[in-house]
Amino acid sequence: MADVYESDQLLSEYLLMHYGPDDELMPWGFGPKDAIGFPARTVAYFPEEKCDRALDLGCAVGRSSFELSQRADEVIGIDFSQNFIDAAETIRREGKIDYHMLDTGSQTRPATASLPARSQADHVRFLQGDAMNLPDDLGSFDRVHAANLICRLPEPLKLLNRLPDLVRPGGMLVLATPCTWLDSFTPPENQPKEDTFSWLKSQLEGDFELTGRHDEPFLIRETARKFQWTVSLVSVWKRKA
């Protein structure tokens, strides 16, 4: 199923979700406009003060990484999709990327994803990688952000077990998940046997203190008339000393 994230159509959908103007992502006045801006809203759960290093796991096409760069001297964005990483790197290097958004049928129209204002592109580095098998020399971070990732991993415990080493004592962790566990991504034996939030608490509370729980909607536009509206569970954690 990992290959699905290499398609041009999904790349277009994610570029629009991350960077698209509000009226392009949701052109209908009666639509769920509060679901716009999800990649920036999850980053807003971190403290406002500046920090040294931040890690964005499952960064997709990079919007959250650029948001993190406004308050971090170094940001590393990692995603399994080479297609996503290539697009994020183009935005970082050139300030924009052109693509085509699907309207109806096979009809498309041109669009451009641009580097968000106030982003510090020179603070950001993008890497293709596996969140379950991160490099040993990655180091530790003041902030770790992982949005809509955990329920797409074949072995999510591999990441959860690595988090205490990734987050520095006193550092912050923001996890977001729509809890849409699918056998095609995560084998049933590796899925939580209880509700996702209780499972996360049982796995993390030995090393982290829970500081907040929130519900954040997000929107993916497939066509001008078809949308995915989903609510992600956001949990905020502080690494114990």
Q: What is the CATH number of domain 2-239?
A: 3.40.50.150
C-alpha distance from residue 67 to each of 15, 72, 195, 227 (Å) = 15, 9, 30, 25
Residue 107 has pLDDT above 70, yes or no: yes
Sequence-separated (6 or more) residues with CB below 8 Å from residue 163: 144, 173, 204, 207, 208
Percent of the chain with pLDDT over 90: 97
User: pLDDT value at position 86?
Assistant: 98
Q: Can you tell me the mean pLDDT for 24-29?
A: 96
Residue 153 has pLDDT above 70, yes or no: yes
Q: Can you tell me the mean pLDDT for 113-138?
A: 97
Give tens-digit pLDDT for 187-235: 999 999 999 999 999 999 999 999 999 999 999 999 999 999 999 999 9
Q: What is the pTM of this model?
A: 0.96
- Residue written as tokens 């290093």? 53
Using 50, 70 and 90 to split pLDDT, how confident is the model at 30?
very high
Locate the domains of the chain by residue range.
2-239
Residues 143 and 177: their CA atoms lie apart, in Å, by 17
Residue 56 has pLDDT above 70, yes or no: yes
User: pLDDT value at position 217?
Assistant: 98
Residue 150 has pLDDT above 90, yes or no: yes
Joined together, the tokens standing for residue 163 give 């988090």
Residues 140 and 93: their CA atoms lie apart, in Å, by 25
H or E stretch covering 99: strand 96-102
Residues 204 and 155: their CA atoms lie apart, in Å, by 16
User: pLDDT value at position 6?
Assistant: 84
User: pLDDT value at position 2?
Assistant: 53
Residue 1 has pLDDT above 50, yes or no: no
Give the β-pairing of 72-79 and 51-57: parallel
DSSP bridge pairs for 108: 102
Percent of the chain with pLDDT over 70: 99
DSSP bridge pairs for 114: 96
- Residue written as tokens 């205490």? 164
Q: Are 84 and 61 in contact (CB under 8 A)?
A: yes
